[in-house]
Amino acid sequence: MSSNPSNSIKNIHKLSIAPMMDCTDKHFRMIMRKISSEALLYTEMIVAQSLVYTNKKENFLDFNSEEHPISIQFGGDDPKILKEAAQMAEDWGYDEINFNVGCPSPRVCSGNFGASLMKDPKKVAKCIESLKNNCNLPVTIKHRIGVDNDDSFTKLNNFVRIIANAGADRFTVHARKAILKGLNPKQNRTIPPLNYDVVKKLKNFNPKLLIEINGGFTNIDESLEALNDFDGVMIGRSVYNHPLRWAEIDQRVYGINTKSKSASAIIFSLVPYIEKHLTNGGKSWDICKHLINLVEGIPKAKIWRNQISTKSIKKELDIKFLIELTSRLEEMGY
């Protein structure tokens, strides 16, 4: 098992890649690990109840050893079920556990977890206590600055202090409130305005707490500036849609003397992984749907992406064809 004690969280996780449904599966995480050896990676949100009651737990828990450091994110509201989920996460070798109190999906909220739980800090505290008391991993929480009209700073600060007393090791704060009635999840990522000042005020009121900010960061310069005020920065859609914009994370954020990789170098380094996946019966599209985002802003990028996509969807892509196309990128210096 490879785990990071909570007293080292601040130094290790200056930048993290947000948990995103249908995005941050193990294949995308492998791509990101080729870009950065240091950034903290997250699973997609896993409903704790689904994990506990399934017979195929590996479908939820499986990850590649190269993905460390990696955090598993749980959604739920039942401390007893979260107890079992925490024990599984530790046994499986995750580095930390994150509890989701930020997802605005109607499907999630109808199950009384996600952002709707911010309205019940005592229940959240019991969930955090259950996670903390049943594993030796750091337990963190991701939440919004408010929900619907419950968005005063007093309520946010009260929520955070209750959860801190329950044992949360780090707070990842999405600097938007969640609007549960009238907006869908996609709209909740953009329409509620960002309010970094609220999160900065929260940090100033709670200087001893580890507070990471999330929401709207599009490049490393913005992230470095935010690190002057916060203990960490979480990046979401920008890193998924434009992964090579973040190719200098290790050098600029962590001070590691290493060269940033080109798109072709990253793809070539993934060939053994892709080959193994195909040999084990996996589909090329499982990986290529993430891989295509590496190639943008260069001559004939759209053609390259279309060729990869079409071949993958038709189940006609093989390693030889992928290497051939990637070699063309390399010849152009990409």
Which residues does the annotation mark as catalytic? 103
C-beta of residue 278 within 8 angstroms of C-beta of residue 319:
yes
The helix (H) or strand (E) run that includes residue 301 is helix 301-313
Residue whose tokens read 């990676």 = 41
CA–CA separation, 296 vs 298, rounded Å?
Answer: 6
CA–CA separation, 111 vs 127, rounded Å?
Answer: 15
What's the burial of 309, exposed, middle or buried (CB within 10 Å: 0-12/13-18/19+)? middle
CA–CA separation, 254 vs 256, rounded Å?
Answer: 6
What's the burial of 137, exposed, middle or buried (CB within 10 Å: 0-12/13-18/19+)? buried
The helix (H) or strand (E) run that includes residue 243 is none
C-beta of residue 299 within 8 angstroms of C-beta of residue 333:
no
DSSP line for 147-209: BTTB--HHHHHHHHHHHHHHT-SEEEEESS-B-TTT--HHHHTTSSPP-HHHHHHHHHH-TTS
* Backbone dihedral angles phi then psi of residue 100, each to the nearest 5 degrees: -90, 115
The helix (H) or strand (E) run that includes residue 118 is none
CA–CA separation, 143 vs 171, rounded Å?
Answer: 8
For residue 251 the two structure tokens come to 């050098």
Calculate the alpha carbon distances from 42 to 134, 150, 227, 235 in Å.
20, 28, 20, 11
For the four alpha carbons of 259, 262, 266 and 269, in that order, the dihedral sign comes to negative
